[in-house]
Amino acid sequence: MISLTLCRRILLALSVTGAALIAQSCKPRCTFHQNSGFIFGTQYHISYEHTQDIKKGIESHLELIDSRLSTFNPLSTISQINQGKSVALDSLTEHVIRLALSVSHNTNGAFDITVAPLVNAWGFGFNNTNNIQPKQIDSIMSHVGYKKISVYDHQLIKHQPDIMLDCSGIAKGYACDVVADYMDSLNIKNYLIEIGGEIRVKGVNKSRKIWSIGISDPTDDSTHTVPENSLSVIKISDTGLATSGNYRNFYYKNGKKYAHTIDPRTGYPAQTDILSATVIAPTCAEADAYATAFMTLGLDSAKAILSTQQHLKAYFIYTDQTGEMNTWFSNNTQNPQQ
């Protein structure tokens, strides 16, 4: 016969177990949410696993980046700098400028945020003019060059008053990092953030598999975050990825094709053998900036830079000496699935 004391213990254990089960059943369940929208003149697509939809929080962070780095926003910090105003740099803007200067140094000026006047002149910037004449290049180049700016005491120092900044080669990547930090603060373990083709991922996707990122055929006109219609597929997690390719943004004038990647060292659109540069880095901002630089440098010079930056991985689509399309990936990169 069971004693009264033992019965009480059993009832107590059952009540505790029942309470735990009820509490667990009342706990919000994590599900994958899909958010999309328009920012920085492009679209964003974000997938994440969380107990609730956080689109408002995501967009508040994107709007913060826009208010600091967008040249299309006349009230942004960068726009005010370009207007010649003396502006105290907030920590976000200062971090991006310092990172940009570091990448400029590491790539021998192939990446340069002072390229704005050239980008505008060639018809890809916020002034959107494309009537440049070759004789204008020398004049414009006199106020282009990353060594002509510096940061001191939270101020941007221009060594040439007409210098203007364009952060479009790093801003989308940095925005991915800012949203990633926001998600990390909410203890979100699985997410993919894509802004205009720049990507930051963590954990796994809805199918509990590592994220698959499709790299477009350079004869195509888009980047996919799924392998459908892609030339190659790269599987990544807990990292940033950016792809730059001249097939994304160009125009024809007088029968000649002008690509959007401007070589800040010459003042002219870059003409290299790389058709598409994909870079994997710890942060998407780095991946974004280096991918831009590699499009300017060309295959051999890009390889030389990679040998000095061991934290980077790269996958290039290029044309060989016979004009055939080919691929190259760094030794520390998995072989992309063809």
Q: Are 267 and 144 in contact (CB under 8 A)?
A: yes
User: Taking 60 as the threshold, does the pLDDT of residue 191 lie above it?
Assistant: yes
Domain 62-158 has CATH 3.40.50.10440: no
Q: What is the mean pLDDT of residues 40-62?
A: 96
Q: Are 215 and 232 in contact (CB under 8 A)?
A: yes
Q: What is the mean pLDDT of residues 116-121?
A: 85
Predicted confidence at residue 41, as pLDDT, reads: 85
Q: Any alpha helices (H) in the chain, and if so which ranges?
A: 4-26, 55-69, 77-82, 91-106, 116-121, 134-141, 171-185, 284-297, 299-306
Q: What is the mean pLDDT of residues 111-133?
A: 73
- Where residue 305 falls (left for φ over 0; alpha for ψ -120 to 50; beta otherwise) is alpha
Q: pLDDT digit string (tens) for 144-173?
A: 999 999 999 999 999 999 999 999 999 999
User: Taking 50 as the threshold, does the pLDDT of residue 233 lie above it?
Assistant: yes
User: Taking 70 as the threshold, does the pLDDT of residue 50 lie above it?
Assistant: yes
Least confident of 52-66, 102-116, 141-155, 230-244: 230-244
Predicted confidence at residue 335, as pLDDT, reads: 61
Predicted confidence at residue 12, as pLDDT, reads: 53
Structural domain boundaries in the chain: 62-158, 171-329
User: Taking 90 as the threshold, does the pLDDT of residue 47 lie above it?
Assistant: yes
Q: What is the mean pLDDT of residues 186-196?
A: 97
CA–CA separation, 112 and 263 (whole Å): 9
Q: pLDDT digit string (tens) for 264-286?
A: 999 988 878 888 899 999 999 99
User: Taking 90 as the threshold, does the pLDDT of residue 138 lie above it?
Assistant: no
User: Taking 70 as the threshold, does the pLDDT of residue 259 lie above it?
Assistant: no
User: Taking 90 as the threshold, does the pLDDT of residue 332 lie above it?
Assistant: no
Q: Which of 246, 222, 210, 217 is nearest to 232 (CA)?
A: 217
Predicted confidence at residue 87, as pLDDT, reads: 92
Measure Cα distances from 46 to 14, 178, 238, 241, 326 in Å. 43, 13, 15, 14, 31
Structure tokens at 334: 């998995």
Residue of 174 and 42 predicted with greater confidence: 174
Least confident of 102-111, 246-255, 316-325: 246-255
Structure tokens at 326: 């080919």
- Side chain identity at residue 46, one-letter code: I
Average pLDDT for the chain: 84
Torsion sign over Cα 88, 91, 93, 96:
positive
Predicted confidence at residue 216, as pLDDT, reads: 77
Cross-strand bridge partners of residue 201: 192, 239
Q: pLDDT digit string (tens) for 289-327?
A: 999 999 999 999 999 999 999 999 999 998 888 888 899
Q: How much is the pTM? A: 0.84
Structure tokens at 249: 């943004």
Predicted confidence at residue 27, as pLDDT, reads: 57
**DSSP letter for each residue of 250-263:** EEEETTEEEES-B-
Q: Are 171 and 115 in contact (CB under 8 A)?
A: no
Out of 127-136, 159-168, 245-254, give the one with best mean pLDDT: 159-168
- Side chain identity at residue 266, one-letter code: T
Which band of pLDDT confidence, cut at 50, 70 and 90, is reported for residue 227? very low
Q: Please state, for a pLDDT cut of 90, what percent of the chain lies above it.
A: 61
Which band of pLDDT confidence, cut at 50, 70 and 90, is reported for residue 246? low
CA–CA separation, 172 and 12 (whole Å): 57
Least confident of 7-11, 85-89, 154-158, 190-194: 7-11
Architecture of domain 171-329: Roll (3.10)
Q: Are 336 and 234 in contact (CB under 8 A)?
A: yes
